[in-house]
Amino acid sequence: MTSSSGSMPPPYSAVLRKGEEEVGPIRLPEENVARFVEHFDLIYRRVGMTISPTMIVRADPTIVSQQDNR
């Protein structure tokens, strides 16, 4: 899928979860990723929703691949 400019959209870099269930993919912002995830989880954890990063986001070294956490 391409955008109207003809370039490919960036890959999804996290999964939105409700409890243990994956609800769908989500793109994280290019900057302040850790802060975004922290604030999202703080607000939406009350209804059981969290964000789980799934890949390295090079713009923010605080997010690493889940595979790297083994």
As a whole number of Å, the CA-based R_g of the chain is 13
Q: What's the pLDDT tens digit per position in 8-22?
A: 555 668 899 999 899
Rounded-to-integer distance, Cα 14 and Cα 53, Å: 4
Q: Which pLDDT score, from 0 to 100, does residue 13 have? A: 83
- The model's pTM is 0.57
Q: Which pLDDT score, from 0 to 100, does residue 3 have? A: 44
| Tens digits of pLDDT across the chain (70 residues) | 444 555 555 566 889 999 989 999 988 888 888 899 899 989 999 999 999 888 654 544 554 544 444 4
- Spatial strand order in the sheet of 21-26: 21-26, 14-18, 49-53
